[in-house]
Structure formats: structure tokens, C-alpha cells
Amino acid sequence: MRTALVTAVAGAVVAFLLGLLTFGVQATVHPHDVPLAVVAPPPIAERVRAADSAEVDIRSVDAAEARTLLADKEVYGVLEISPGQATIRLNPAVNPSGTQVAQQVLTGVAQGAGLPVKTETLAVTAAERTAPLAASALLWVGGMVAGLLFVVLKGRRFRLLSALTTSVLVVGAVIGLLAWWGVTFGAAAITFMFAVAVSFALLQAGLFKHLGIRAMGVLGLLYLMAPAVAGQVPELLNPAYKAVLWSWTPFRFSTEGLRSLMYDGSISTEWWVFGGIALVGLVLLLAGKEAQPDRPDGVVDVGVDQADGLPRPERQHTA
């Protein structure tokens, strides 16, 4: 009776927490202070600024500053208004969720001014929008499965070699899969993917070494909750999720970094993040002893030889 009650409560608690940390992110999405830029003559700029609200933060700037802000991903879209025409400029390296909100809001502003609208942006396929987050998740899963099998198959030596080999093969598999979908990467993006794969694999291998199969409790939870926020922009997230999940998840850095490099952008913070993760993983991998697996019969071996004449554990049976 007691066991039945405890397991039932545990199941309900886990379901509640996973729902809170995963589906709750999607359920509470709402734009707030989405940064946008508008280039317009002063009278029109004043009217546009009047459309500012809690959902958007509209800046009135000149054309040069607007394009700089867009290239640096400081804004999600730019509306340039000239006599008789409104042009929306978008950057494909910006998170698609933010771009979608920007296009909707800026289109409404232009139509409110009675102007025809055209949009200028590099054409992006559905596969290209999906690729950065998909690649990040697959790199994590590949390293996690390899680390788990290493434990299940009772591997003892060459764990570091396994992690590095896994990184190379998983990156190759991801590149091949995405190429099948019509997505190709330059040398910088492939190098970054390899750095992400190595850092993930080293961290996972280090945790599996010290925790054994119990590491899945940590790694699996990270996989379940992190992608839910990595594909969002902070201005769409509930502030609590932004602080608790989005601010630190490595999936966010890998997704944003890969998206930037896909469109000839540059990254800096992301290299430091994954360099730090790789260093932590390497320290875990090289330090301490292997986690000792439980024996199949549930008896913990304490290293006492049977020749000492000590009584056998109750659950140990002779042949």
C-alpha cells in the first residue's frame, strides 16, 4: 500500500515538473518589448512611435543605424518608409520567432499609414529555419546515447577516445541528414558544430563516468526542457522562464551561434561557452574513479575474500 502511494505521487510530481519546464514555456509565450526600428520622415516617425506598446519597443533611427542594428541582431526587423512606399527588412540570422513577430507588427504599422508594403529578406526554407535547433538537439542525443551504451556495455578504457570519435561521427551524420533536407554549411559552421559536439560528448562522458547510468536523470532532463526555450527569443518568454532556463541553457548558444554562421555572421561568446563546457567535461573525465555498478543480485561487493571465513551475504547463493 505504501509503495503504491509513493510511486503514484512520484509519477504525478514528475509529470507536473516536466510540464512546467517544457510545455509551460510554449503555453506562456507572449511578446513584450520586442525591439524594432523604423526609418521615416519626422511627422510619420511621430505617428509610428505612438504605436509603441508593452509588446514592442519601436526605435526611430536613420537608415544607416537601422541596418547596423539589424546586422548586429539588436532589432528583429526594420521598417523603412519613403513617399508612397514601405519596406520591411529582415535578417535571416535572427531567430525566426522574433522575425515573425516583427513582420506582423511592422506590416500592421505600414498598413495603418495607408502604404503598400514589400518585404526584403533572404529566402529561408523551413529546413533552414529548423536546422540550428535540430542540429543542437541531435548532437546532444548522439553523445548521450554513446555515453549510455559505454556504461551499459561495461566499457572501462578509452572513454575519451569514444567521446571524440562519437563527436566526429555524429557531426557527419547531422551534416548528411541536413544536406538531405537541402541545408548546407560553410567551414565555420561545421567547425562550430564539431566544437559543440565535442563539448557535449566530453561533459556527458564525464557525468557517466562518475554517476554511471544515473547520469541519465540529469542529461535526459536537460534534453527535455532545454530545446523548448532554445528556439524562442527572450522577448517572447515569460520572465520566469527567461531567467530560470533561457539564460543558461547551452542549446540556446549552439542554436543561435549556428544560425549566425549559416548566414555569414560571426560569433564570440558561443566559443567561450562551449570551450568552458569542454573543459569541465575533460576535468570530470580525467579526475576520480569510475562509478561502481551494482551487482545483478543486488549485493554490494565490499572486497572481503570468501577465504577469510566470514559469512556470506544472505542473498548470495552457492552454485
Q: Residue 81, exposed/middle/buried by CB under 10 A (0-12, 13-18, 19+)? A: buried
Whole-number Å distance between alpha carbons of 138 and 130: 12
The closest of 194, 187, 197 to 264, measured between CA atoms, is 187
Sign of the CA dihedral 164, 167, 173, 175? negative
pTM of the model: 0.80
pLDDT value at residue 247: 83
Instruction: Compute the CA torsion angle 298, 302, 308, 312 (nearest 10 deg).
Output: -20
Please give the sequence-ordered ranges of beta strands (E in DSSP) within 157-275, or none if there are none.
none
Longest Cα separation, the chain? 99
Whole-number Å distance between alpha carbons of 270 and 192: 9
Nearest-10 crossing angle of helices 269-286, 159-180: 140
50, 171, 226 from 126: Cα distances, Å:
35, 21, 21
Amino acid at site 66: A
pLDDT tens profile 201-220: 999 999 998 888 888 888 88
pLDDT value at residue 52: 62
- The β-bridge relationship of strands 78-82 and 56-60 is unpaired
pLDDT value at residue 231: 77
Sheet holding 117-120, edge to edge: 56-60, 34-39, 78-82, 85-89, 117-120
DSSP bridge pairs for 38: 60, 79
Which segments of the chain have a pLDDT < 70?
49-52, 288, 290-319
pLDDT value at residue 319: 42
pLDDT value at residue 291: 63
Are 34 and 101 a contacting pair, CB within 8 Å? yes
**Domains of the chain from N-terminus onward:** 34-120 (3.40.1710.10), 126-286 (no CATH)
- The β-bridge relationship of strands 56-60 and 34-39 is parallel
